[in-house]
Amino acid sequence: MSDRKHEDLPMPEDLPLVELSGVSKFYGNIKALEDISLTVHPGRITCVLGDNGAGKSTLIKIVSGLHQHDAGTFRIQGEETRLGSPREALDRGIATVYQDLAVVPLMPVWRNFFLGSEPTVGWGPLRRMDVRTMRRTTRSELLRMGIDLRDVDQPIGTLSGGERQSVAIARAVHFGAKVLVLDEPTAALGVKQSGVVLKYVAAARDAGLGVVLITHNPHHAHLVGDRFVLLKRGTMSGSYEKAELELDELVRQMAGGSELEELSHELRR
């Protein structure tokens, strides 16, 4: 006879990849985050939206292993965790793509793609980087994500900002990330380039990754997001599923809604 209780237990595949629950963070006396909760599931995009100083960077730093939370719980696939370093986050499957990407501009795209994880051939004194494999893999991995670069030999510094973000996303997918955290990937980009990057964010989701998209742009968030977590001065001002939140309402909330109305009263002559 089957045990009803046992049936109700969450299956491992239902467990969120990442789950923050009631997380707070202080910098000395400054409360940067208070009681923040969010979940990241495979094949879903969770958008974290907030104005300057809302706590978005602090949240990223906790998830990517740069800082530790002071209260609440941080779970990775159900297991309570405190990450000691970005390396540990990466080993646990959490890859973070920062806005100011750490790339070597004069090195070719393929070299940057494998930076720090270069495959080698040969043994002992004859051991050397496997350039052929790196070139071929970079090309095929970019193509797999739908990124058609003219030439993987060109210095990465010659790519547009959007293309560089796209390469970083493809790199995280290739190296087996389960969770992809993107720090304002479209902030410095024009409309067209932003669209390109959002397409690859969606491609990472389609590859089964759980994505955390940090942004202050409600239009970009609403295009790709499945869930929206709104931060305001370090606290959570809302958390919605896409079906619960129209774009207009998201824009209104991000524009400061009532604050903007107050301001318009003050500015009226």
Q: In the complex, which residues of this chain contact ligand ATP (CB under 6 A)?
A: 27, 30, 32, 50, 52-58, 234
Taking the least distance from each CB to ligand ATP, the nearer of 54 and 142 is: 54
User: Do residues 183 and 214 touch, judged by C-beta distance below 8 A?
Assistant: yes
Taking the least distance from each CB to ligand ATP, the nearer of 31 and 219 is: 31
User: Do residues 227 and 173 touch, judged by C-beta distance below 8 A?
Assistant: no
Whole-number minimum distance, CB 176 to ligand ATP, in Å? 28
Instruction: Tell me the CA distances in angstroms from 32 to 10, 61, 205, 232, one per residue in order.
Output: 32, 12, 29, 10
Nearest to 58 by CA among 22, 34, 91: 34
Whole-number minimum distance, CB 245 to ligand ATP, in Å? 20
Taking the least distance from each CB to ligand ATP, the nearer of 53 and 119 is: 53
Taking the least distance from each CB to ligand ATP, the nearer of 49 and 203 is: 49
Whole-number minimum distance, CB 189 to ligand ATP, in Å? 16
Whole-number minimum distance, CB 53 to ligand ATP, in Å? 4
Whole-number minimum distance, CB 121 to ligand ATP, in Å? 43
Q: Distance between CA 108 and CA 160 in Å, rounded?
A: 14
Return the biggest CA–CA distance within the chain. Answer: 79
Whole-number minimum distance, CB 216 to ligand ATP, in Å? 7
Torsion of CA 98, 104, 109, 115, to 10 degrees: -80
Taking the least distance from each CB to ligand ATP, the nearer of 57 and 239 is: 57
Taking the least distance from each CB to ligand ATP, the nearer of 31 and 75 is: 31
Taking the alpha carbons at both ends of the chain, their separation in whole angstroms is 76
Sign of CA dihedral 229, 230, 236, 242: negative
Is 224 in a helix, a strand, or coil? Answer: helix
